[in-house]
Chain A
Amino acid sequence: MSNDKVLVASNIVKELGRGAGMVRALKGVDLDLVPGELTLLMGPSGSGKTTLLSILGCIMTPTSGMLSVAGTPTADLGPEELAHLRRDHMGFIFQSYNLFPTLTALENVRIALDVRGATGFKAASRSEEVLRQVGLGHRLMNYPSNLSGGEQQRVAVARAIASSPAIVLADEPTAALDSENGHAVMALLAKIAHEQNRSVLAVTHDPRTLAYADRVIRIEDGLIVGEDRRPEGLDAPEVTDLTKRRKAHA
């Protein structure tokens, strides 16, 4: 694990709406991410988790505060420059997978490389490689409608890591999954953080995910109210995948 911060947020404030209907979703959040860690951002509904994730992902801009991604301050960047920053340094995993229904699993991963300018055979073989990494080597040509929820989320994970981003941001990655698939996806995210030295931040309120975290940040009412770290020497649950689990059940 390296201590070089890939993302630094300080005193982030976000106000949503205007006038009498204005809500202060974030009230001065400080947070940083380092490589090789799976960080969980936990909190009740309406606590500001997703808003914070959107800001950390350069998708939303803060009302005030400072955000720096890979050493680049984002304050003066326009939408295209922020998109460029996302392209270069971030991968996203969404609660509803957000896969393209008209593209196969392989193409869903390839398009994430395509937007980064990677095309041709290299992009195709890289897409296949990451899909094999997440245990979907046998589902390359399947459309999302022919994949289970767990498989779709693993395609989304493959898409997020295909370009080897320094930061992977996940929004409720297990919310739409059953227990077995939820564990498999969390194990995968932990593996990505530890073995590929990425910084993974997952927003969740799923207690099943706690066992995989290196660090847990708790947020309430737009403020970070606590942070826990896994004690040194205590390993995360064994990294496994769904195929192995199913074999074990059989």
Chain B
Amino acid sequence: MILTLAFRNLFHDRVRLAVTLIGILFSIVLVAVQLGLYLGASRMITANIDETRSDLWITAFGAKSFEDGGVLLSSRERHQALSTPGVESVTPILVSFSEWRKPSGGSTRVVVVGADAEDGALAPWGLVAGDWEAIKAPNGIAVDETYLGDLDVSGMGSTAQIGQGRVKISALTKGIRSFTQSPYVFMPLSRARQILGYGSDAATFHLVKLREGADPAMVRQALLSRLESAEVLTKKEFRDRSLTQWLFRTGAGVALIGGALLGILVGTVIVAQTLYSSTKDHLNEFATLRALGSSSSYIHKVILAQAGLSAIIGYGLGMTIALLVVLASRSTPLPIIMTPTLAAGLFSVTLFMCAISAISAIVKVTKIDPATVFSR
């Protein structure tokens, strides 16, 4: 009967129910979009690091992120690393911002990623046209199809210029987005060095693969003692550093999380307001229940059931719209990500929000004087 009464109370005033559901829906969509953007941004920031097959990263001291590696490393650090016990391989990669000169004039910033796929460190993934052999061909590069418009090119075979060299699109990827909105341009390491005008042994990072059974902590310590001007980070540490740089030092992540919190706050206030007014309208019924001998907890359960039902219906509607927004964002440079964990988390947030909203109504109903049933 608790659920029946809660359901009937809820549907008794359709306008108020609509306001409640719109409040929850608005909140869910806002939180889903903000957190989905946060997830999407996080994935974009760490995608290149996640794709590498490496155990440790050697970076210049103070490297901020994958895109912003700072001072270049040389073959000296590589050789020092290679001679460290427990190290199987050390693969250099070069990452640097550069200018992409558009075929029809003007330029835009890109992130050049120079790496040799044969070394197994990092290769463009999600190829939808062309392959690594095509990228290795003279002037060959790979870009993501999302950015063709930004780069002012039509697709495979299009040419442009980066720094000092001519490039030709010989492979296309799908889904490699850039948080900085500067598209990644993948090419062999030697071409990247040449185009960017760096020395033949220049590298931004050295990716270290450990021998089987080697203790990462011990190898790291050994590397640190040999490499005076470089840092040695685990993959996770470098991921976290990149995330911190782009999401928190730039304020982008704070804005996204702030937006999500605002969504929760607005939703809570709207639901609390409507639930309170619904409780106020049904106060005489709750007083009657109390007079009939119901416990306080019985009445609280009715209110919580109302909140729970609102949460379930509002979540269903909100998630439907949120998923449509997620679908619509798939082909944009800043896709919104929805994962089962986020969906489950949002459901918990909705239930929590509605439960918190019920507090004011519960406080109101706790003060009911059952004697009022005799004065009606």
Contacts and interface: CB of A to CB of B under 8 A. Distances in A.
A and B pair up: yes
Interface of A: 50, 53-54, 57, 59-60, 79-80, 83-88, 90, 92, 94-96, 98, 100-103, 107, 110-112, 114-116, 119, 159, 171
Interface stretch (B3-11, B164-172, B216-224, B328-336): B3-11
B1 A53 contact: no
B282 to A, nearest CB: 9
Question: Which of B8, B289, B292, B296 has its CB near the most chain A CB atoms (within 10 A)?
Answer: B292
A115 B373 contact: no
Interface in B321-376: 370-371, 373-376
Contacts of B294: 83, 87, 115
Query: Helix, strand, loop or mixed for chain B's interface?
Result: helix
B376 A94 contact: yes
Interface residues of B, number: 25
A96 B287 CA distance: 13
Contacts of A112: 292
A110 to B, nearest CB: 6
B292 A87 contact: yes
Interface of B: 1-2, 4-5, 8-9, 12, 284-285, 288-296, 298, 370-371, 373-376
A171 B373 CA distance: 10
A128 to B, nearest CB: 15
Contacts of A111: 1, 5, 289, 292
A103 B4 contact: yes
A214 to B, nearest CB: 23
B1 A88 contact: no
B293 A83 contact: yes
A171 B298 contact: no
Contacts of B295: 80, 83-84, 87, 115
A107 B1 contact: yes
**A-B CB proximity, top 9 nearest:** A87-B293, A102-B8, A86-B293, A115-B294, A114-B1, A98-B288, A96-B376, A59-B370, A102-B12
Contacts of A159: 292
A206 to B, nearest CB: 16
A85 B376 CA distance: 23
Contacts of B12: 101-102
Given A84-B293, A87-B293, A115 B298 contact: yes
